[in-house]
């Protein structure tokens, strides 16, 4: 696919839309080439730390399997995005006005750690117009849900959402000593 090309899968609400994300979430960039290098190295270090954390969690008997699953989803998504940003620029040429070639003889469009992340999932569910009295966006049209993302982003999001929804299962039950609904006995000189 060339940059910006799209295929409608289900009507106008599920579209495969090819775009390349140069930086962080929602296409934000961070400090040019040095920022991209820093971001790539930070992601790699973060994935190593998360992997080590999962390894340590799996050794503890009292660890919730929910926590391991949620953190593993976050790790898998982060790893997918890292693979794109580290290698994609090396193995494909620029796809601005053409279909990118795999392993071009002249080399890729970016050096190691400077590649873009491919995003393709687009769900423009509906358009709304904010009422005039609405702060900041009054009278403006807004497309819900406009970001283009990939499966790795989805996996990270699912891991975080599951962690929030099932936080009691993920982080275990609270200490019963502090959650008792009974009135504690006041500490007085007689009962100390």
The mean pLDDT value for 88-109 works out to 82
DSSP 50-104: HHHHHHHHHH-TTS-HHHHHHHHHHHHHHHHHHHHHHHHHHHB---SSSPPPBS-
* Tens of pLDDT, residues 124-156: 888 889 899 988 888 888 888 888 889 999 999
Count Cβ atoms below 10 Å from residue 136 Cβ, excluding itself. Answer: 6
Q: What is the mean pLDDT of the chain?
A: 82
Out of 150, 153, 156, 162, which one is annotated catalytic?
A: 153
CB 143 within 8 A of CB 124: yes
What pLDDT, on a 0 to 100 scale, did the predictor assign at position 17?
A: 92
* More confident of the two residues 69 and 63: 69
What pLDDT, on a 0 to 100 scale, did the predictor assign at position 126?
A: 84
Q: Looking up tokens 């993302």, which residue turns up?
A: 149
CB 75 within 8 A of CB 68: no
Count Cβ atoms below 10 Å from residue 169 Cβ, excluding itself. Answer: 15
The mean pLDDT value for 177-186 works out to 50
Checking if the pLDDT of 175 tops 80, the result is no
Q: Is 84 among the catalytic positions? A: no
Locate the domains of the chain by residue range.
6-25+33-174
Whole-number Å distance between alpha carbons of 20 and 115: 9
Sheet holding 14-21, edge to edge: 6-10, 14-21, 117-122, 148-149
Q: Which of 39-53, 63-77, 90-104, 120-134 has the lowest mean pLDDT?
A: 90-104
Out of 39, 73, 119, 120, which one is annotated catalytic?
A: 119
Checking if the pLDDT of 159 tops 90, the result is yes
* Tens of pLDDT, residues 108-125: 888 888 888 888 998 988
Checking if the pLDDT of 1 tops 90, the result is no
Count Cβ atoms below 10 Å from residue 123 Cβ, excluding itself. Answer: 16
* More confident of the two residues 18 and 179: 18
What pLDDT, on a 0 to 100 scale, did the predictor assign at position 49?
A: 95
Query: Measuring CA to CA, how many Å separate 104 from each of 2, 5, 32, 99, 163?
Result: 16, 21, 25, 12, 42
Checking if the pLDDT of 52 tops 90, the result is yes
DSSP 142-170: EEET--EE-HHHHHHHHHHHHHHHTHHHH
């Amino acid at each position: 696919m060339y940059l910006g090309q799209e295929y409608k899968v289900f009507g106008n609400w599920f579209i495969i839309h090819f775009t390349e994300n140069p930086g962080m979430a929602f296409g934000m960039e961070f400090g040019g080439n040095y920022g991209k290098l820093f971001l790539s190295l930070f992601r790699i270090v973060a994935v190593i730390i998360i992997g080590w954390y999962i390894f340590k969690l799996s050794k503890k008997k009292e660890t919730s399997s929910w926590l391991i699953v949620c953190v593993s989803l976050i790790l898998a998504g982060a790893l997918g995005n890292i693979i794109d940003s580290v290698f994609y620029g090396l193995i494909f040429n620029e796809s601005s006005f053409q279909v990118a070639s795999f392993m071009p003889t002249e080399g890729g469009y970016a050096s190691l750690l400077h590649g873009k992340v491919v995003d393709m999932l687009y769900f423009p569910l509906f358009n709304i117009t904010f009422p005039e009295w609405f702060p900041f966006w009054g009278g403006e049209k807004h497309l819900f849900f406009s970001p283009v993302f990939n499966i790795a982003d989805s996996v990270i999001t699912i891991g975080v959402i599951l962690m929030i929804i099932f936080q009691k299962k993920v982080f275990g039950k609270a200490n019963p000593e502090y959650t008792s609904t009974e009135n504690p006995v006041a500490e007085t000189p007689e009962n100390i």
